[in-house]
Chains A and B, each alone.
Chain A
């Protein structure tokens, strides 16, 4: 019963955070809403026994990624005109329709086939997501993909440095016409 109450509280928090993120005019509020959602999802991870993933979620997502987001928001400036006016006709009704359709499809059409089949893993005794169990799996069967992520992160870091060193030349013609 405690679990149900916890689920209700944090499900509401996650949904509220997501809605705030989408609807807030100020990007800082959006970031705060996303932060709330990420913390709630970390709680759900703990309730599902994924302790290590929950810790990583708080450290990487709520810590590093959101800090980076807030940093860039502050860098770009939050006091600019916001984008709440419609430029495409019927954009909002179309989004509501498409979103509702997607939700209907996922929840009601796929209801009975959400979780089927059996586990393919090797863990038969203890499947809690502790550091020991996760690292056994990660450095055993998943070692090669793990090494591939190292390559990916290196490429991302190099690309970021290359982007940051991009020399900014002022544009001569602003409207993109003929530049001679």
Chain B
């Protein structure tokens, strides 16, 4: 049996920070798989957002495990960077679409040698 489940059931089942970490790991993996699977630039972008969200969840879970606040500050900074990234990235996608009329990354092979 997985150790923390045994320990938690001995304590009278409580939500441990480890649970959030495991959930965040699964979400991160789904995001990474989506990034590799999909070829629509928008869905790839959303996969990146999902990975960022999973990491944010990890920060907050560690915070509540350690009793600190730095993780939440980090989450705020990650959110700011993600917002800037989304703004520029979606502008790039829209600009590419205006020129090439596609959002599929397979068709954007103009730089291929």
Residues of B within 8 A of A133 (CB): 69
Among residues 67 to 97 in chain B, which have CB atoms less than 8 Å away from a CB atom of chain A? 67-70, 72-73, 75-77, 79-88, 90-95, 97
- Would you mind naming 13 contact pairs between A and B with Cβ atoms under 8 Å apart? A4-B13, A4-B15, A21-B34, A22-B37, A37-B53, A44-B57, A45-B60, A50-B64, A53-B56, A61-B49, A99-B29, A127-B63, A137-B73
What is the CB-to-nearest-CB distance from B42 to chain A, in angstroms, rounded to a whole number? Answer: 5
Size bracket, chain B contacts: 35 or more
Assess the B50–A18 pair: CB atoms within 8 A: yes
Residues of A within 8 A of B42 (CB): 27, 30, 69, 72-73, 76
Supplied contacts A4-B13, A72-B90, A152-B81, 8 more A-B pairs, CB within 8 Å? A1-B13, A15-B23, A22-B37, A50-B72, A69-B46, A106-B28, A155-B84, A164-B94
Among residues 32 to 59 in chain B, which have CB atoms less than 8 Å away from a CB atom of chain A? 32-34, 36-40, 42-43, 45-47, 49-50, 53, 56-57
Contact with B along A55-71 (1 / 0, CB 8 A): 01100110011001100
Residues of A within 8 A of B94 (CB): 72, 75-76, 163-164
Please, how many angstroms separate the alpha-carbon atoms of A125 and B60 in the complex? 18
Assess the B80–A14 pair: CB atoms within 8 A: no
Residues of B within 8 A of A117 (CB): 66
Among residues 163 to 180 in chain A, which have CB atoms less than 8 Å away from a CB atom of chain B? 163-164, 166, 168, 171, 176
Assess the B87–A68 pair: CB atoms within 8 A: yes
Size bracket, chain A contacts: 35 or more
A103 contacts B by Cβ under 8 Å: yes
Residues of A within 8 A of B81 (CB): 149, 152
Name the residue on A nearest B17 (C-beta): A115
Assess the A160–B103 pair: CB atoms within 8 A: no
Assess the A129–B53 pair: CB atoms within 8 A: no
Asked, given contacts A73-B42, A82-B40, A171-B99, whether A114 binds B15 with beta carbons under 8 Å apart, the answer is no
A9 contacts B by Cβ under 8 Å: no
Please, how many angstroms separate the alpha-carbon atoms of A145 and B36 in the complex? 32
Assess the A102–B29 pair: CB atoms within 8 A: yes
Assess the A138–B73 pair: CB atoms within 8 A: yes
Assess the B88–A156 pair: CB atoms within 8 A: yes
Assess the A14–B27 pair: CB atoms within 8 A: yes
Residues of A within 8 A of B46 (CB): 21, 30-31, 34, 69
Assess the B72–A11 pair: CB atoms within 8 A: no
What is the CB-to-nearest-CB distance from B1 to chain A, in angstroms, rounded to a whole number? Answer: 13
Assess the A65–B82 pair: CB atoms within 8 A: yes
Assess the B57–A145 pair: CB atoms within 8 A: no
Please, how many angstroms separate the alpha-carbon atoms of A63 and B73 in the complex? 20
Assess the A95–B36 pair: CB atoms within 8 A: yes
